[in-house]
Amino acid sequence: MDATSRFHGPTRPLRVFQFIGTYDRVHFRVARRRGVLRIGLVMLQGARHVHMAALERASAESGIDIEVHELRKASDLEAAELHAIVMPGGESTTMRLTGNDPVSSLLPAVFEWIRADSARPVLGTCAGAILLSDPQDGGAKMVDAAIDRNAFGTQTNSFQTTLEATSLQREFPGVFIRAPRFTQTGPEGEVAAMLGDEVVGVKTGNRLALTFHPELSSDVGFHRWLIETASALTAEA
């Protein structure tokens, strides 16, 4: 049986998306402008530039000014004084390796930033969701769920379908690429997205883990959620 056949709604084979490709605009601005939200993008490996494009569109839609800070090493994060973080998909094993490399040490710094306060807005997609739910660094999970890697099968079992983004209260285009599956949610794990009767998005505080790739769809709702949540928090402060 095909891994997707148990879900409701039509599924389509995965296609290459319009946003994949080079994206060479400079987002990092050294001169810090007042009132601008600083969003950190974990640049370890995988789908990073499409997140930049999605964040830009979300910024334009919401009218909230942002700077995207590319995070490659721990000192990038320390320097940036971030309001939110995006952890893209990719290959979690590679991301753990490169992120724990003593030269980069990015992953421990990112985890420390996230764990400091559960209100800090974080969006983790696919492998990013794996790292949030299963950090494997001896510390606490950042999202209260258990997750199983590659649980939909191999690359050929990647698919697109419509899912229910419960946290956005609407349907959402779900792009699943060698996606993991949540096997359990804990008491702090709020359901944020469902595919049929399966949980595909879990939120703990303002940390959102999605097993799919919202950045590869035309809907920037989850990126807007990140920006708008961060903006509301800075307004409160």
Residues in contact with ligand GLN by CB under 6 A are: 46, 89-92, 126-127, 130, 149-150, 177-178, 180
Q: Give min distance, CB of 84 to ligand GLN, in A.
A: 20
- Smallest gap from Cβ 217 to ligand GLN, in A, equals 14
In the complex, least distance from residue 126 CB atom to ligand GLN, rounded to whole angstroms:
3
Q: Which is nearer to ligand GLN, 59 or 104 (CB)?
A: 104
Closest CA to 215 of 27, 87, 71: 87
Alpha helices in the chain (DSSP H): 49-62, 74-80, 92-99, 106-115, 127-133, 221-236
Burial of 46 (0-12, 13-18, 19+ CB in 10 A): buried
Q: 126, 164, 190, 223: which is the annotated catalytic residue?
A: 126
Please say which residue, 90 or 135, places its beta carbon nearer to ligand GLN.
Answer: 90
CB atoms within 10 A of CB 192: 21
Residue closer to ligand GLN (CB basis): 37 or 50 = 50
Sign of CA dihedral 144, 150, 153, 154: positive
State the minimum distance, in angstroms, from the CB of residue 22 to ligand GLN. 20
Toward ligand GLN, which CB reaches closer, 214 or 221?
214
Is 213 among the catalytic positions? yes
Phi, psi angles (nearest 5°) of residue 225: -55, -45
Closest-CA residue to 202 (of 230, 223, 181, 226): 181
b/e per residue 136-172 (b: at least 16 CB within 10 A): eeeeebbbbbebeeeebeeeebbbbbbbbbbbbeeeb
8 flagged as catalytic: no
Nearest residue (CB) to ligand GLN, 66 versus 177? 177
CB of 62 to ligand GLN, least distance (A): 26
Q: How far apart are CA 179 and CA 158, in angstroms?
A: 7
Contact between 212 and 109 (Cβ < 8 Å):
no
Q: Known catalytic residue: 126?
A: yes
**Catalytic, out of 49, 69, 83, 213:** 213
Q: Name the catalytic one among 67, 91, 164, 215.
A: 215
Token reading at 160? 């697109």
Q: What is the set of active-site residues?
A: 126, 213, 215
